[in-house]
Structure 1
Amino acid sequence: MVIDPRLNQKLIDLFSYRYRWQSFREIQSKTIPSVLDGKNLLLIAGTASGKTEAVMIPVINRLLELPAGLKCIYFAPLKSLINDVSSRLELMLRPFGLVAAKWHGDLTRSEKLPIAREASILVTTPESVEGIFLSENSDLLSSLEFIIVDEVHAFIDSPRGAQLASLMERIKILSGLDQQRIAMSATVGNPELLLEWLRGSSRRDSVIVTDENRREKTIEVLTEGEVVPSEYLSKLLEETDDKILVFSYSRARAEEFAARARALGIEVPVHHSSVSKTLRVEIEEEFKQDNKLRAIVATSTLEMGIDIGDIDRVIFLEIPPSTASFLQRAGRAGRKGNKSSISVFVEDPQSLYNLLGILGMLSEGSVEPLLPSDHHLPLLGHQLIGLARTRGFLSAVDLAILKEAFPFKKVETEEFEILVNHLVKEAFLARRDLSIISGAATAEIVGSGKEKMDFVVLFPGGFEYSVQLNGHEIGKIHPAVLSSS
């Protein structure tokens, strides 16, 4: 295979011998030189295309040249994905004496801080980085060289995406370095705008790399008048050797499907956000390792790139709400080869129209555009409070960098001044001579406990009760379910 001469021979040997690679995939050959050149990069490639390795091979190559310490922050949207990615990165890094650590809300301080101090790469969420900034551990972020955003489409047009864009600028302000920014996605309808979002204040050259190899997908369209979904699964399990992932867009529908499958003598584990983390991990590992378990049903918890092994077929119990979602879920199948099988159940005329729309967009090679916010004034106020708390003051240079974050592009100078004056009036900021410093009221909201959590997690989820069986948590349930029963 053609190898970039800048790659460390030990790194090439690792993938040649341990991973049995005989050559790089096309997407890796296209990506590696741009990352080695130090360019910001948006990588668009399907699930299981090798895009993580395409990015990490040149990043690890650079880590081998750098002094010890945390040099790369790796953002992922879900805790389960963080756990999966950190395990995969650990296997790549360990032969070189490097460490991959994870940091999220399910881990205690004693579980995450010591290893983060030893790590070269930290896999985490925007909320966790916000918390690090407001703690005595903000120095962890002071020498970062790389910012990687996985599954960027899951962030981009949400409030979390706006928070992430501003955090990238705060990392730059704290470190004084222009980090190399890399984002990965399986589905993007408007890549140029996403690259602009990623670039922010960075002065590096920026490129888009796209995987041109498209897997052939066979789509079978069914109605429940033809066959009941659980009976269809039973037939597939009898007549094929397929590993099958069934997708539902609601937890209730997933549970109903699993119950009907059980009535036919088929055990289909259910994987969704109300199932406990322990049980979800057990399901993932069993599906990946045990050939006897050939089908699971899931909601969005398995839509992203958690490694659950080879999948031959994806079944949709409902029509997805978008082409992007359809591609993301359909892309879970076909890892072993270029072909994959998709089965879609159509419930009514409206769902048929939706499917025809999706297939029409696919035939044109188009996906819905993602539209990140470019005028997020409340978030700007939030970030000014956090920045002043971390830095002690707000300098003109710092503010100029922060203002280049995509969510603040259209905030006018007059609006900015009104916002700062309001924060001073409320004592979140204060004026000292010609400087703006952290205000007295800030300590109350970023100190500790619930107040700090509310500040760090701008967009919290709903409250849920833990459900336990014989002392073990098996899932969570919303209070509304209990009050209505």
Structure 2
Amino acid sequence: MTESVTGFDALAASVQHHIVNALGWPGLRPLQEEAVAPLVAGEDAILLAPTAGGKTEAATFPLLTRMSTEDWRGTSVLYVCPLRALLNNLQPRLSSYAQWLGRTAEVRHGDTTAGQRRQLQAEPPDILLTTPESLEAMLVSTVTSPQVMFANLRAIVVDEVHAFAGDDRGWHLQGVLSRLEAIAGRPLQRIGLSATVGNPHELLRWLRGPGRDGRGTVIDPGGIGKESEVRLDWVGTLDNAAEVISRLHRGEKRLVFADSRRTVESLTLSLRDRKVETFASHSSLSVDERRRSEQAFAEAQDTVIVATSTLELGIDVGDLDRCLQIGAPRTVASMLQRLGRTGRRPETSRNMLFLGTQEEEFLRACGLLLLWSEGYVEPVQPPSTPYHVVAQQILGLTLQRRALTRGDLHHDLQSFAPMRSSAVDQIIDHMLTEQFLVQDGELLFAGPTAERRYGGMHYRDVMAVFTAPPQFTVLHGRTEIGQIDPMVLRSEHGKLLAITLAGRGWRVMSIDWNRQRAYVEPWVHGGTVRWAGMPQLLSAPLTGAIRRVLQGQDLDGVALTRRAREQLAELRDEFTVFVGVGDSDVLVPHDRGRSRWWTWAGGRENARTLAALSRVAPGLVGEAPTWDNYSVTLSDEATVPLIRAALAEALERATEGEDVFAPLIDERTLWEVKFGDMIPAELLRDEIAKR
């Protein structure tokens, strides 16, 4: 009985040769070793490792082996990423690997020029790096033939798969993959690359979709693999944070994360005022501006780059010495991604310094660090009931096929899980009634309402399931700096505005309101900086951890500065009346004739609780009740026994089938859901409530 070949020995000889001679590697990392056998065998998989853990190579080397030994031709591998910048960053590396076999790897996304797209059509790459939105564009294109372009597909790699699965872009991707499998006439091998998540096996089941045969595997060599130095400091203001950063770790390369574009801009400007070489990176900067910042940072030593989560997802900016965080992210998974940016050199350790500038963010950091110290990582949970994505996929497939039957819809979208919902026929019937679709015999076509509402620029609006808020392009001469919220540009009394963008001050010289452009000149001072955003919900585990910290639980494995210890002690005194003991109920009379019930249950649960109380015992909530991540406001008549009795009744009614816990919906939100007009109003309300 012969032993099966595994690991490095299972790779194609040409791939082995170049790993040793071109890369100079003495061997593969544990993740890469473990991934070879199942991926060469064609299994679906989730590969888990921190940032810079070798995930790209763990997926690519086995696929190059299959490409060589099975003689794949044409575009046979898709590599999908959530960010264009990540695709641009990966393309040179994947192209160099593909060249080992005389193959090619190219990028196609929203920044790809018309000439580059024509070149890709004339000479299809063996590996195509792209986004779900660009795949949708290729599928519905009237210029290219998706049947020709995707007929040879064999495998897909989904980088940062957890980022997709956590929102509707993941459902969009799953629908597109189902349509690609219908074109290729075969199941595609699906490989997801992810940082640590709390439910990797469920994530694999989501990635594979329903009804797939064969095995799937989760490959996790385990943990970050290095001791981590994590510290927490309290500095009180963003200006103080800039002062601390300017003085700490001079001569080293520092990456500072902030969770808003506004904070990134303000901090970058403050650091530059202190003569610190500083660069900014966030989604509203132009592509060229981000590239210049990231390239300059990668080549420098004594420097700082301040970024939002755009630099969390694997974009290479070289070896880092230090990672700092203003405030706190909202998940342990994000923290692990950021922590994994450091400690890549053998003689260095992974490190992260949290700088608290506001009390709420400081407490969030405390709760997050408690969860981290306990080894907790959030499960990735795809959004429920994505009815609007079902409608988008139905319209997209109709545009792709030009004409099709209901049976065709179900066939081509058979591995798109939401298509198995009993609501699908209701959605199709609604689309027919409202003439998003029209029917001739058994055939369905795109209708006049779809043309009127989504048909502009060759149905460009159908390509993405999200709607970006309107932004004005900021130009210095012909150079694009980035985009900014148009509300910032509305000055009083005709005064010239000063704005901050890319960490620099600008004076707005003129505004083209029709073309949505603002023309600027450099200015010695910074000015207004603001973008529209939505309030972020915190999870029940995180708010519960914050409560436990306030009740006195220590943060094991986290070094607190003297300022942090003093601030935490003050907050524990301040919140004593609100946290209670253990999980006890805390109802505090409000000074405006209201009471506040401190649940510490997270935003989603509090929304559900308030909805149930409003339906079962409206007298307890009174007029204009509110909820947040930590509490629910109630009328002054509320008592703990009355609240408990009302919730018990709500649970009883829920077991009898009444949706008593569905959050209350503001009718205005129905109009904010993209493609919401293509589904029946009752389904739209149900979708929003369940989310």
One fold, TM greater than 0.5? yes
* Amino acid in the other structure paired with 2:465: L
2:263 counterpart of 1:259? no
Residue 19 of structure 2: aligned partner: 15
> Is 1:294 paired with 2:303?
yes
Following superposition, the deviation at residue 84 of structure 1 comes to: 0.9
| Greater alpha carbon shift after TM alignment, 363-372 vs 75-84 | 363-372
Shift in Å at residue 438 of structure 1?
2.2
What's 1:382 paired with? 392
Preserved CA contact (<8 Å) 1:151 1:184: yes
State the match for 1:73 in structure 2: 78
Change beyond 3 A, Cα 1:417–1:29? same
Aligned counterparts of 1:368 and 1:59: Cα–Cα separation in 2: 30
The answer to whether 1:120 aligns with 2:126 is yes
Contact 1:188 1:369 in 2 (8 A): yes
Cα distance in 2 between the residues matched to 1:225 and 1:446: 48
Residues 1:312 and 1:445: Cα distance change in structure 2 (over 3 Å): farther
Partner of 2:483: 476
In the other structure, the counterpart of 2:293 is 283
Matched with 2:218 is 208
Instruction: Give me the whole-angstrom Cα distance separating, in 1, the residues matched to 2:37 and 2:369.
Output: 35
The one of the two structures with greater contact order (alpha-carbon pairs below 8 A, sep at least 6) is 1
Partner deviation per Cα, 1:246-277 (whole Å, 9 max, x = no partner): 11112222222222222322121111222221
Give the distance between the partners of 1:381 and 1:470, measured in 2 at CA: 42
Query: Paired residues, what number?
Result: 478
Hey, what's the Cα distance between the residues in 2 that align with 1:469 and 1:376? 41
User: What is residue 586 of structure 2 aligned with on the other side?
Assistant: none
**Letter matched to residue 424 of structure 1:** L
Equivalent residues in 2 for 1:22-37, closer than 5 Å? 22-37=26-41
- Equivalent residue number for residue 94 of structure 1: 99
Asked if 1:110 is matched to 2:98, the reply is no
Does 2:432 correspond to 1:424?
yes
Distance 1:290 1:225, change over 3 A: closer
One-letter amino acid of the counterpart of residue 26, structure 1: P
Decide whether aligned partners of structure 1 residues 67 and 55 sit closer, same or farther in structure 2, where only a CA change above 3 A counts: closer
Seq. identity, %: 31
Cα 1:404–1:461 change in 2 (3 A) is: same
Counterpart position of 1:334: 343
Aligned 8 A contact 2:253 2:320 in 1: yes
Assess if the C-alpha contact under 8 Å between 1:173 and 1:398 holds in 2: no
- Give distance in 1, aligned partners of 2:37 and 2:431: 46
Deviates more, 1:133-142 or 1:298-307: 133-142
State which of 59, 62, 67 in structure 1 corresponds to 2:66.
62
Query: In the alignment, what sits opposite 1:196?
Result: 205
Structure 1 position 112, deviation (Å) = 2.5
Report the RMSD for the aligned CA atoms in angstroms. Answer: 2.4
- Residue 229 of structure 2 is aligned to residue 218 of structure 1: yes
Mapping for residues 318-357 of structure 1, pairs under 5 Å: 318-337=327-346, 339-357=349-367
Unaligned runs of 5+ in 2: 492-496, 498-691
Counterpart contact for 2:14–2:100, Cα < 8 Å: no
Query: For 2:273 and 2:388, how far apart are their aligned partners in 1?
Result: 51
Which segments of 5 or more consecutive residues in structure 1 lack a partner in the other structure? Answer: none
C-alpha distance in 2, partners of 1:173/1:236?
A: 56
Conserved 8 A contact 1:373-1:406:
no
- Aligned mates of 2:246, 2:117 — CA distance in 1: 44
1:162-189 CA distance string (max 9 Å, x none) = 1111111111112111100011111312
Residue 225 of structure 1, CA deviation? 5.5
* C-alpha distance in 2 between matches for 1:161 and 1:188: 16
Which stretch shifts more, 53-62 or 260-269? 260-269
Measured at CA, do residues 480 and 418 of structure 1 come closer, stay the same or move farther in structure 2, by a change above 3 Å?
A: same
Task: State whether structure 2 residue 416 is matched by structure 1 residue 405.
Answer: yes
| Cα distance change of structure 1 residues 423 and 448 upon mapping to structure 2, 3 Å threshold | closer
User: In structure 2, how many angstroms separate the alpha carbons of the residues matched to 1:203 and 1:472?
Assistant: 52
2:239 maps to 1:232: no
| 1:131 to 2:168 alignment | no
- Say whether the 8 Å CA contact 1:444–1:451 is kept in structure 2: no
Pick closer, same or farther for the CA change 1:277–1:344 going to 2, 3 Å: same
Aligned equivalents of 1:374, 1:354: Cα separation in 2? 26
Aligned CA distance change for structure 1 residues 209 and 460 (closer, same or farther; 3 Å): same
* Structure 2 counterpart of 1:310, one-letter code: D
Are residues 1:153 and 2:153 paired?
no
C-alpha distance in 1 between matches for 2:426 and 2:456: 30
Larger deviation, residues 242-251 vs 46-55: 242-251
**Quick one: distance in 2 between partners of 1:446 and 1:4?**
53
**1:128-148 deviation digits (Å, cap 9, x = unpaired):** 111111114213122210111
Distance 1:80 1:420, change over 3 A: same
AA of the residue aligned to 1:296: I
What aligned pairs does 1:352-367 form with structure 2 within 5 A after superposition? Answer: 352-367=362-377
Paired letter, 1:309? G
- 1:452-472 C-alpha deviation (Å, 9 max, x unpaired): 111112312122222122321
For residues 433 and 263 of structure 2, what CA distance do their matches in structure 1 show?
Answer: 51
